[in-house]
Chain A
Amino acid sequence: MSFLKAFQYKRRNSLIHRLDPRSKFLLSLVLMTFSIVFIDIRVLIAILTLQLFLIGLARALKEWVYSLRGLIFFIIIIFITQLLFGGTLFMGIVLSIRLIVLSSSMSWFFLSSTPEDIGRAMSSARFPIELTFSFVMAIRFIPVIYNEFQSIYDAQRSRGLELEKGGFRTKVRNLMPILIPLLVGTIRRTYEIADAMEVRAFGASPKRTSYKLLKFKKGDYFLCLVSAILASAIIYLKIFLGLE
């Protein structure tokens, strides 16, 4: 579960946190494109380095390491499929790095932007309100699930559920009294939150205002410039150099 932490907003006083979510999103998108378009290991490593730099600036390296733990499962799958379908070990490594780059480009963005700000950015870009809100709700749910997990986990341990000891199989079996209530609890929380939003007049007026106005600052223009340069790099590398 701690893997979710890598995608959950954390309030920090950092350069990155202060940036406008729109500029951050743009850069995120460009970085993601790299991981989708290229499988050249040099490119991927270069992008990963840039990402680590950004995550470091956002003071979130610890959370990023958490996210790696969650990815291990998928990386194992990558290696298994590579071996089964006659790929090479090298290819497995490349694909794994690619996955890490993909996940990092999202993690960097979500770690440093509140769902409220993302919602504000989407409305200012004139996305339909339904879409904006479904999206914001979806991100809001990451911490909801995480907290639900934490409290159920604590409550069950406090009632004698042994989770810290035992072999792998006992551990998995003992996880059931946590996973089932987690599912049920998350659904229940969904309704509770929907009620809590409605009693605060959500949906009463077709228009919503925002008390914080998003404003582009110097840093944001700089980020856009970086994004533009990187985007041209994609085109240059792909089309003119024909990199894989």
Chain B
Amino acid sequence: MNAVDFRNVSFRYAGSEKEALANINLKIEEGESVLITGPSGCGKSTIAKIIMGLIPHSYTGEFSGEAYVFGMNILENPVSNIATKCGIVFQNPENQLFTFSVEDDVAFGPENLALPPEEIRKRVDESLKLVGIEHLRYSSPNNLSGGEQQKAAIASILSMYPSLIVFDEPTSMLDPSSSINLIQSIFRLKEELEKKGGRLTLIIIEHRIGLLLDHVSRIIVISDGRIVLDGEPLSVLYESFKKKIPINIPPILQIYFRIKDRCGLEKPPKNLKELFSYLREASSEKHG
């Protein structure tokens, strides 16, 4: 089944002249992990809001086309219904926490799913551990640092065990090692679920492509409300490089793309060490 299926979706926010999204056709299969990227203001968060049904239910504007999430038509289903299968972590963590303790926020979703108390407690423990904020369990979200709030917002979605999670810039406020840990934990979670026969679809909106390159199977580049590239990560990045689309291509690839033809490099290097050993090889072949 398709986790997400957009057919000719367009949206214009009330009060703007320009369409935020124009004629988007997008299918994401169950179990896929997709990175969505693109210049600031291109419409990434708008896609996320449509997947949850917040557009058109909570935002006014002109919506056209059809959007399905796990077969549910977003026009016919209230957001809370879609939320039983999909979770979203918004771009701004502070605006999505609303209780007086991190623990209550993380338990809020599962409580709405009417799960038994022991199950909820188990999930709360698990989610807090996964993002590494067990020590903040009883703190009020208002009294947390930016990064700590972001971690709490992520935990409060993970605890609902959604089949699809949309992350809108989940690591923007995290320190480098927390970012790596978080991404690894999420993908480990996905693997573990798959081992047990479950499925988890991940849609991650990020400017920091390098962080996710090893994990996702597909990259979609949006520009000016349209999908301009969609496919296998490396070739998408190379195309964006050639077309000069302003996305954050990881430094190592920035160099690789520039020199690969001239130096005869075949494989993209994972890190600088690898790049240098490739270069050494290539140059000794050329000269020796």
Using CB atoms and an 8 Å cutoff, list the residues of chain A in contact with chain B: 9, 11, 114-116, 140, 143-144, 147, 189, 191-205, 207-213
Contacts and interface: CB of A to CB of B under 8 A. Distances in A.
7 residue pairs, one from A and one from B, having the closest CB atoms: A211-B120, A200-B109, A201-B83, A204-B80, A196-B96, A198-B79, A201-B112
Contacts of B99: 114-116, 140
Given A199-B87, A201-B83, A204-B80, A114 B101 contact: yes
A192 B109 CA distance: 16
B83 A198 contact: yes
A190 B160 CA distance: 23
Given A116-B101, A201-B84, A212-B117, 14 more contacts: A116-B99, A143-B100, A193-B98, A199-B52, A200-B83, A200-B87, A200-B108, A205-B113, A205-B114, A208-B111, A208-B114, A209-B110, A209-B115, A211-B111
Contacts of A202: 80, 83, 108, 112
B156 interface: yes
Interface residues of B, number: 41
B36 interface: no
Interface in B106-141: 107-117, 120-121, 124, 138-140
B40 to A, nearest CB: 21
A208 B160 CA distance: 14
A147 B111 contact: no
B65 interface: no
B95 interface: yes
A212 B104 CA distance: 9
A212 B79 CA distance: 26
A140 B83 CA distance: 22
Given A191-B58, A205-B112, A210-B111, A199 B79 contact: yes
B142 interface: yes
A196 B98 contact: yes
B107 A203 contact: no
A199 B142 CA distance: 20
Interface string B78-91: 11110110011010
Contacts of A114: 99-101, 104
Contacts, number: 106
B114 A115 contact: no
Nearest to B98: A193
B100 A192 contact: no
B101 A198 contact: no
B156 A200 contact: yes
A201 B100 contact: no
A197 B112 CA distance: 9
Contacts of A212: 107, 117
Nearest to A203: B80
Contacts of A200: 83, 87, 108-109, 112, 156-157, 160
A199 B97 CA distance: 12
Contacts of A115: 99-100
A106 B78 CA distance: 37
B249 interface: no
A193 B98 CA distance: 7
B263 interface: no
Contact of B101 (A11, A193, A205): A11
B281 to A, nearest CB: 51
B142 A209 contact: no
Contacts of A213: 117
| Residue from A11, A196, A201, A208 having most chain B Cβ neighbours under 10 A | A201
